[in-house]
Amino acid sequence: MLVLLKEMIDLLPGTYRQVMELRLYQGFSTKQISQRLHISRGNVAVRMNRAINMIKRRIDARARSLSKKGDPQS
């Protein structure tokens, strides 16, 4: 599961990937990310939320794709 998450994070556009990597891999707080990237805390929160939604959509799409491959009617 962690491998899948890392793969999904690697596929994110740069601004979203950067925020997620700082949070998940380096353990930075929202405030620390804000200061490091010179953006508002609100912007950090928005980027994280959008990144999470992108990851969810990609995982859902992958799951649908895998379930279709296992479907004998496909």
pLDDT of residue 30: 97
What integer best gives the mean pLDDT of the chain?
Answer: 93
Q: Which of 36, 47, 45, 40 is CA-nearest to residue 9?
A: 47
pLDDT tens digits for range 15-46: 999 999 999 999 999 999 999 999 999 999 99
- For 59, the token pair is 């995982």
pLDDT of residue 29: 98
Q: Per CATH, is 2-69 categorized as 2.60.40.10?
A: no
Q: Residues 24-40, buried b or exposed e (16+ Cβ, 10 A)?
A: eeeebebeebbeebeee
Structural domain boundaries in the chain: 2-69
Q: Which residue has the higher pLDDT, 57 or 71?
A: 57
